[in-house]
Amino acid sequence: MTTPPPEVPQGHHPENSQTPPPPPAPYGQQQTTPPPYQQPPAAQQPYQQPAAHQAYPGQPTATGQQVLDPAQQRQWGMFAHLVPLIAMVLSAGLLGFVGSLVIYVMYKDRGDFVRQHAANSLNIQIITGIFLLVSFPLMLLLVGFATYFLALAFAFVLHVIGAMRANEGQQWSPPFTPQFVK
Q: pLDDT by residue (tens digit) across 132-180?
A: 999 999 999 999 999 999 999 999 999 999 999 999 999 888 988 888 8
CA gap 112, 141 in Å, rounded: 44
User: What is the pLDDT, as a whole number, of residue 70?
Assistant: 85
For residues 124 and 82, what is the distance between their CA atoms, to the nearest angstrom? 12
What local confidence, expressed as pLDDT, does residue 52 receive? 44
Q: How far apart are CA 48 and CA 50, in angstroms?
A: 6
pLDDT of 157: 95
| Mean per-residue pLDDT over the chain, rounded | 79
Average confidence (pLDDT) over 100-119: 90
Q: Residues 12-52: pLDDT tens digits?
A: 555 555 666 666 666 666 666 655 655 555 544 555 555 44
Q: What integer is the mean pLDDT of 83-96?
A: 87
Contact 126, 97 (CB under 8 A): yes
pTM for this predicted structure: 0.63
Nearest-angstrom CA–CA distance, 122 and 112? 15
- pLDDT for position 180: 86
| CB atoms near residue 89 (< 10 Å) | 14
Is 61:100 a contact under the CB 8 Å cutoff? no
Instruction: Identify the CA nearest to 79 among candidates 49, 58, 110.
Output: 110
Q: Which are the contacts of 2, defined by CB distance < 8 A and separation ≥ 6? A: none
End-to-end CA distance of the chain: 84
Q: What pLDDT, on a 0 to 100 scale, did the predictor assign at position 25?
A: 65
**Whether residue 53 has pLDDT greater than 50:** no
